Every structure is written in structure tokens, then in C-alpha cells.
Chain A
Amino acid sequence: MSSIEITGLTMRFAQTPVLKDLDLQVRTSTVTAILGSSGSGKSTLLRCLAGLLRPEQGVIQIGSTVVFGKGIWVPPERRGIGLVPQEGSLFPHLSVGDNVGYGLRGRNSGGRIAHLLDLVGLPGTSAMRPHELSGGMQQRVAVARALAPSPHVVLLDEPFSALDAALRDDVRQDVFAAIRATGATAILVTHDQEEAFAVADQVAVMMDNTIAQQAPPAEVYLTPVSLDVARFVGDTVLVPAHGTGACRAKTALGELPAQDPTSSGASGVLVFRPEDLQITGDGPVLAHAAVSSVSYHGHDTLLAARAGEQELLIRVLGRQAVAAGDDVTVRVTRPGVFFG
């Protein structure tokens, strides 16, 4: 299978940049999620990779083959790439089996089609028509179709966003199990941070038309490279702070722990995740705060609280006997990340 190497990719639509000097490395047989808000250029990146759009500058290499570079342009049909579009886009005039077999040229296609339909959990549907399938089934077929010619790379363009939340997890799990079973390198474009974290080996956060950070999910979440990335990938508690030169930062709530040494005197902000703050246990005390609202999510509860001028968000497991107006002692369980 193939690794992917993108360097200096640049593209504009009518003078508006959509990709700015973008670099991305993807290791063979891994799943990489490209996480970005709408308009961040993530779909454009995917389409450049597939060969459906031609960028202006840069190099795209798939495996050992340069598919785009100075004077080089490999059309999509010769890139060995599978594409799963947002709405599946099954060929409406072909049966399910013919859809899956579309990219197979005379090879033992009957057996291959049956095998792939098994793989995506839809055995025996070969003779059905696309319109007879539910949305989730259509997406499974679209994945089988993309995998049929044994592509080195599979590109998925927000393939689960049109599905019901209840269905989404199952389809997602089965689809990535099928992709991993083939060993193909997969790139998933999504705006859903939970989805990216759940399925990907690597998450590439796309902001302002370039990759802001590429790392394993936990690293992106726990040690984001910028405040923007921190805020984009999850809820944050922002505490204005000054650096001290040590792994601490001065704030209105006192000195608080930071992950890395903070540059002395630099003013900035110390970022915590809501679950870094707790109202029980024995971490260092951050503040005494008044709870202003409680939102209960079943598996966890999100508390909004206020300590002087400082707004705090606290995520606690399960249900806590706390109501709006209660006073709580907030403790820090993990050092914050300082951005100067």
C-alpha cells in the first residue's frame, strides 16, 4: 500500500487562496482525519489528492509515484485512489453489484463483489437497486465500490454526516474495519472532532487553508499547537496568565501549573480542558466558584461556574449533586497549556 507526501500545495479560486503552502505526510495503511470547519479548504485538498482538481503549485506523491509536480499530472483514473463522496453517489442506473463492480475490469468480478459486500456487512444485496437502500447501506456500498479495485488510498469526504446519529457509529466502525482489513491508506475529511478522534491514527487540523497541526488524536487534544487549534478541537477554559520562566503561570487565581516552562514575563493565556478541572478529589485548588448553570449529558455533566471575573467550565463524570447557585471548590488535575 502507499504513503502520501504532500509538500507546498497551493491553490486559489479567483484570487482567494483555498490551499496555502500546505504540507501533509500520511504513513502507509493508517487512517488520517483531516479536521476543519467549512471553508477551511479540506474538501479542496481531498479533491486535489484524487486528481479531480489541479492545484497551482506543490508536489503530491503517492507511494513512490509523483502524481502532481512540476510538469507532472496524473489523471484521477490512473492514481489508484478510491473515493467515497458525502452522499454516497451510487450510480442510480446500476444495481448494487454493478456499482461495486464498476471499477473492476474483467477480473473475477462476481466473487470480488460478493466478498466486498460481505466485508461492509451487506451480503446478498448485489441485485438490489441503490434507491432501495437506506442512507447507511448506501454509504457501505459506496465504500465497497471504492475498495473493489484494491486502491492504495481511500478518500472519504464527510461520508457519515448525512446519517442519523444513532446509525453513524455503527456504519463508521464497520467501514473503517473494512478499510483496515484491506490495508489501504485512508484519509477522512470531517468537521466533526469526535469522529476524527474516534477513527483516526493521526488527526490533521486544517485552519486558514493550511495544516495547523498533525499528530495523534490525544496529542492534538492535550497539547494543541495554538489557541485556535485548542478551541477548535474541544471545549476550553481560558485563564489570562503571565509566564514565570518555570512550569507555572501567574493568574488572577494565583500561580497555576503549566505543561511546559513559560517564558518569563510573557502575557498570554493558560488553557485547560473542562475535564482537567474537578470539584472533588485532592488536586491543587484553583478557586472557589459559584455554579451558574448545570447541563446534564448522561455520561457526564458540564458545569459553568464563575470565580470573580473568571468563567470556568467543569466536566464531571456522571451526575453530581450540584445545582446552580451552589459554591464549589475547583481543583486542577492536569497542568494547562500556555500560549504567550
Chain B
Amino acid sequence: MAFIRHPKDFFAGLLFIAFGVAAIVIGSSYALGTAARMGPGYFPRALGILLIVLGSVLALRALRIQGTAVPAFKWRPTLIVLGSVVGFGLIVEHAGLLLSTVCLIVGASAASHEFRWKEALVSGVCFALLAIAVFVLGLKLQLPVWPVFLFGTH
């Protein structure tokens, strides 16, 4: 796409336009009201229009001024890091803090190019104990330590 001279700005512009359009489309069912008696749709509509305007200026300007390319999106660390966090959120209530912490630490460690199984397991267990000490014993948060299906809720 040689006509896009400033890809970073161009795609940022598209992103803002997309958010603006989404705000207006989704917000189209909210009552607008008048300036004196604003409905719930008034402010979001105004913001959506502003976003579309700013995004368009950014994107159009990117056709004219020179800029650097968007750095490649590396899926591996992104997916592993966010995936292990999401996984932790899904299992912690059922599997307990101990097991889910080990899963999170080992899983997230795999995102690094220096990943070592043994080290990750050891640090997983250590941080699990620390987390239990701080959050369950110290701050008294309501989190199960052991898997619920084995030992019941408490």
C-alpha cells in the first residue's frame, strides 16, 4: 500500500473512526433530547462525531506526510500473556488459588524466550504460597485455596 505514507497514523485514524461509528450506531437508540434537556444519547453522539472527524483527519493526513511502518504484531507473547490471565480468571473460583496460580505463572512464563520448565514450576509454587499468605490469610479475601470440587467451598 504505497499510497499510505504514514501507516501508524493511518491505522490509528481508522481505529478512531471505527470507535466513533460504533458509538453513533449503538447509541442511535438512545434519546437525543435537546441542548437544554440532554437525553442520554446527546453526549455520546457528539463524542462519536468528534472521533470520526479527528480519525479522518489523521488518516487523510497519513496519505500526505511520511512516517514509519507499524511494527509487526507478535501474536505469541500477546496470546500467551493475555490467555493465561483469562484462564486464571476462569478457573480460580473452582480450582482454588494454589492450582490456578501455578497455572498462571507457568503459562505466562512460556511467553518468554528464556522459558525453563523447572524454574517456572518452582516460582509458580513459591508465588502461590505468597499469594495465599498475602490475600487469603493477610487481607482475608474470599478466595478458595484448594479445588472446590475436591474439598468443598471452605
Is chain B found bound to chain A in the same assembly? no
